[in-house]
Amino acid sequence: MTSFVQKLGYKNTKTMRIGVRTFIIIFMISGCKPFPSQTAPKKDFKEYVVLLHGLARSSKSMVPLQKALSKKGYGTCNIDYPSTDYSIEDISQNHLHAALKRCIPDDVNRVHFVTHSMGGIILRHYLKNNSMKRLGSVVMLSPPNAGTEVVDTLGNIFIFKALNGPASVQLGTGSNSVPIELGPVDFKLGILTGSKTINPILSAMIPGEDDGKVSVQRAQIQGMSDFMVLPHSHPFIMRSKETITQTIHFLEHGSFRSKPEKL
């Protein structure tokens, strides 16, 4: 003990005790605390919005939406999940389920969801296998609800699977397509999808109008409540002010806001 005290620069333990007491007194006088205080209790939100990012993205991609929703008075849960490490089933039942339990208080009135791309398929799988009595509205941004031809073309290439993981190859349009297998939806759903592309190579793989990853046609699903096409590309649709405005409108009114006619 003596040698330890000496290493700290004190000649004996008595001197060390005096030094520590002096340190605490100085902190108290200066208005600082020697230990961090507890965080203030969270605001008692009655409605929450859960945000789910897309494949090979992170929760950072949903931050603009999260900020806008917070300003509107919603509690938000911007969830990170390992999109390139596991299958859709594993992410849904293990990672998403656990994240919702951690994030959503027991006494909230409603829980809404806003998803991008594969995040919508993760949610569909979860809701197919789990009941949510407090489920509110869902807005999906560019979801491959009927799969995407991009996976049909590239899914068997090693580097595609290595970069995008097991869930990515489940997003095709064939017999092993998880989105198609899940069937129609039975919840209040609004879908916003894009009609612009920044990837002409991928767009060449997709019949019809598309956003560079998913066709306008395959973003749709039986049972949806509203659908709108916006002039945005797949990677950036969630950051658009127009997307954010329409998303909030759907959560509040159950439909998208009609565009004004051009004069």
Residue 63 has pLDDT above 60, yes or no: yes
Distance CA 158, CA 168 (A): 12
Which helix H or strand E contains 193, and what residues bound it?
Answer: strand 189-194
What is the structure's pLDDT at 259?
62
Where does the chain have alpha helices with state H? 2-7, 13-29, 63-71, 88-90, 97-103, 118-129, 149-154, 158-164, 178-182, 200-203, 216-219, 241-253
Sign of CA dihedral 20, 21, 24, 25: negative
Distance CA 5, CA 15 (A): 9
* Bridge partners (DSSP) listed for residue 227: 191
Residue 92 has pLDDT above 70, yes or no: yes
Residue 9 has pLDDT above 50, yes or no: no
Read off the pLDDT of each residue in 61-85 and give the average, rounded to a whole number: 97
pLDDT-above-70 percentage for the chain = 82
Give phi and psi for 88, each to the nearest 5.
-60, -45
Read off the pLDDT of each residue in 82-91 and give the average, rounded to a whole number: 98
Residue 16 has pLDDT above 80, yes or no: no
Give phi and psi for 151, each to the nearest 5.
-70, -35
Residue 54 has pLDDT above 60, yes or no: yes
* Nearest Cα residue to 73 out of 48, 92, 96, 52: 48
* CATH number attached to the domain at 47-253: 3.40.50.1820
What is the structure's pLDDT at 44?
78
The domains of the chain are located at 1-37, 47-253
Q: Is the pTM of this model over 0.75?
A: yes
What is the structure's pLDDT at 15?
47
Judge contact between 152 and 174, C-beta under 8 A.
Answer: yes
